[in-house]
Every structure is written in C-alpha cells, then in structure tokens.
Amino acid sequence: MKLLQVDTVAQAREKLKKAIQGLEVKVQELPVEDALGKVMAEDVHAEEDVPGFDRSTVDGYAVRSADTSGASENLPTILQVTGEVEMGCAPTHGIGPGECMYIPTGGMLPPGADAVVMVEYCELFSDMEIAVYASVPSGGNIVYRGDDLHSGRVALAKGTVLRPQEIGLLAALGKQRVQVVKPWEITIISTGDELIPPGGEMNPGKVRDINTYALQAVAKKTGLEVCGCHVLKDERDLLKETIWEAMRESDIVAVSGGSSKGRKDETASVIGELADGELLTQGLALKPGKPTILGYDASTETILLGLPGHPSAAMIVFQLLIGWLWEDRSGQKKSWPIPAELTVNIPAAPGRAVCQTVQLVRDEDGRRKAVPVFGRSGLISILTKADGYIMIPENQEGLKKGETVDVFLI
C-alpha cells in the first residue's frame, strides 16, 4: 500500500500563504458604481465632514431648546416664526430668543438654534406665530456636522468588502472612483480522453465535461476572474505546454482530470517540473480531496493547482484552499457559518479531516438542524442537495447526534 506524505488543510494553506507572501497585491481603480462586491485596496479618508453642516432630521421648527422648556399639550409655548430654511441653501438669518424658523428634513440649522421641534407637535397660529406643544432637549432632532464622518478620519478601511452601504458611503464622501484589489486571474484546464462537451454526442464510456463549468462558476463566486478554459486530451506534452502558456497570463492555473492509470502522477510530475523546486503539497488529508497537488512558480508568479477529478471534490478543495487564500490575501472578514444541530452520528477515521455536506432544515420548534447528505463519492447531485458543509477535524473521531456544528454555506 503506497503511502503519500499528505498535508492537512491547515498545512496546505500555510504553505500556499508562505509561497505567495512576497507578492504584491495588485490593485485596480473602478468607478464606485461598478465596485459592488470588490475588496478595498486602500484606506479611504473622509476629505469633507459628513454631513457638512448641522442638519435637521425631521420636518419642523428650528428653535432654542430653552424656549420650549415646560411646553406641553396643555401649556404650549408661543414662538415667533421669522422665516423658513430653504432646502439646499444656507439660512438667510439666525434666530433669537422666542423666535423660530421652519426647517425641512435635511435642512441646515440656522445660527442660534440648537434643536428642532417636529411639525407634528406645532400648530400654526398665523404666518408669524406657532404654538409648540412639546419640549425638545438641546440637540434634539439634529445631526451635527461630522456626526457621520469627520474630515481626515479613515472612513473605510483596506480589506472592506464593498456592500451597498459602503458604496453609499463612498458617494457620501464625494468619491467617484475607488482602488480595489484586482481579482486573481485563473486558467482552468480539464483533462481526459473521455470528456465530451455539453452539446456533444455521448458514446459508451464517455462522460460529460463537468469540471470546466463547475470550476469556472466556483472561481467567479470566489471573486476571481476566469481568463481561460481548456479541455485537453490526455497527452503529457500538450498538458505541459498548455499550463506553461497559461502561467504567463494567469495568477492561478488549475488542472483537474479524471484519474486514469498514471494520469494523476503525470499531472503531479508536470506541475513539479513547472513549479519551483518541489511540490508544496502532494495529497491532502481530507475526504474528499486526497489527490490534490499544489505548486508555485516564482518567475511567473503563478499558483499551480492539481484538483481531484470528481467535480464535488474539486469544488470543495478549490473553496477550502483558493477561496481561503483569496479571503486571507485580500484581507476580507471570514464569512459567518450557521450553527445547527446534527441529526445523526457521523463516524470519521482520525488522521484525515472530513468535509461532510449537509442540508439545513428547521424542525417544528424552529430549531436549525443539519442533515447530512450521504451518497457515493463522485456524485455531483450530492452538492446540489446540500446547503453547506461541516468540517470534522483530522484529530476527531466523528461527530455525535445532537451536537451543534458550524455549517458553512456553499
């Protein structure tokens, strides 16, 4: 029985991380409206206060709060209306004791005022006078200049993933463009004499090419850019030449193949020849995912990845290694797993981690349950039935029914 010196997922991650540690993070500049989902490559400082002036948060009357002290429904305070703040303009004058001005939501607070009474608590007596039926504390219904962001401060930090609210904040800061981490470019290569493209005619022994499509989609979902796809016959020279070509324009070259006799070793040896020195990893202590190969070439700055031929295993390994590396590299927050109660025991042999796919369901009481999706290795339909996966570490002999596990969505 042949024993490979396999790595744990953590070891493989460390080796990858170390291999690329000298690489500069590539940056690209995008219009703010095209940056949704991208990762910020710079700290963005506020160059102006937001808001730029003290603003009312309601429609109402700008007042001196002291003037409203003690006002109630039974005992209103009468104030003199000296004018109106126009939206988008500086107030034409300030207010003195016993005076007030109408102010719309978002309007600029006039000098002398320190609060706004909501219009709902006021009654207009004449064009010149209102009754105020409630008191308002100093600062009431106002946001002050710089409450959102102070000029000079870091508004959004490097590594932030741009969600709609961050896009909004960039707009609030007057930014039209933003520096984001340039996605890695990846070439995907599938090898196998048996592969037939989706439209092609099937013959006995042939199978449809799944990995080219599944891995493209995983790469896109991870945030990478697919710069090329190749489906190759099983020929060593062709494979080597195609990988070498791809290394010149890609940050990652991922090769997945079935595993006909000797083919696995051949992919490993080709990657070994193209990578610097020896392979980083030659086998993962992970089920599924054992036949995983990692190499790195410094001259072209390319990660070389040999993936299992089974589509499910290839997708999971891609997510665990390249997905992790991209998050780590671009400084993103890790995503939140969903806790759920395991519905059955899951046995696992120590020495090898297990990535177990599960469905998430709610029982009658609304509790989250993780129901393992079992099936023979290599079935693609298992992943389509699953909502996520749980990891059983290599030093653990399985999980017990009723345990709370962390489900990572896929």
Residues 101-120, interacting with its own copies (CB under 8 A): 102, 104-108, 120
Smallest gap, in angstroms, from Cβ of residue 315 to its own copies? Answer: 6
Least distance from its own copies to the Cβ atom of residue 242, Å: 19
Binding mask 40-79 for its own copies (x = CB under 8 A): --------x-xxxx-x-x-x--------------------
Task: Check residue 185 for interaction with its own copies (CB under 8 A).
Answer: no
Binding window for its own copies (CB under 8 A); candidates: 205-213, 236-244, 248-256, 344-352:
205-213
Q: Which residues, 253 to 292, sit near its own copies by CB under 8 A?
A: 258-261, 263
Burial of 71 (0-12, 13-18, 19+ CB in 10 A): buried
Residues binding its own copies: number (CB under 8 A): 102
Take residue 393 and report the two structure tokens written for it. 């570490």
Contact 303, 13 (CB under 8 A): no
Residue placing its CB nearer to its own copies in the complex, 175 or 329: 175
In terms of phi and psi (left: phi > 0; alpha: psi -120 to 50; beta: otherwise), the region of 139 is left
- Nearest-angstrom CA–CA distance, 9 and 3: 18
Asked if 198 is part of the footprint of its own copies (rule: CB under 8 A), the reply reads: yes
Q: Which residue number, 20 or 373, has a Cβ lying nearer to its own copies?
A: 373
- Give the DSSP letter of residue 104: -
CA angle 94, 97, 101 (to 5 degrees): 45
Residues in 313-342 that interact with its own copies by CB under 8 A: 315, 336, 338-339
CB of 252 within 8 A of CB of 186?
Answer: yes
Compute CA distances 76 → 50, 113, 128, 200, 233, whole Å. Answer: 35, 19, 16, 83, 88
Binding string to its own copies for residues 215 to 244, with x set by CB under 8 A, is what?
Answer: xxxx-xx------------x----------
Contact 243, 300 (CB under 8 A): no
Residue of the chain from 21, 74, 75, 88 that contacts its own copies (CB under 8 A): 88
Residues 175 and 171: their CA atoms lie apart, in Å, by 6
**Any contact of residue 38 with its own copies (CB under 8 A)?**
no
Interacting stretch for its own copies, rule CB under 8 A, among 12-20, 206-214, 242-250, 276-284?
A: 206-214
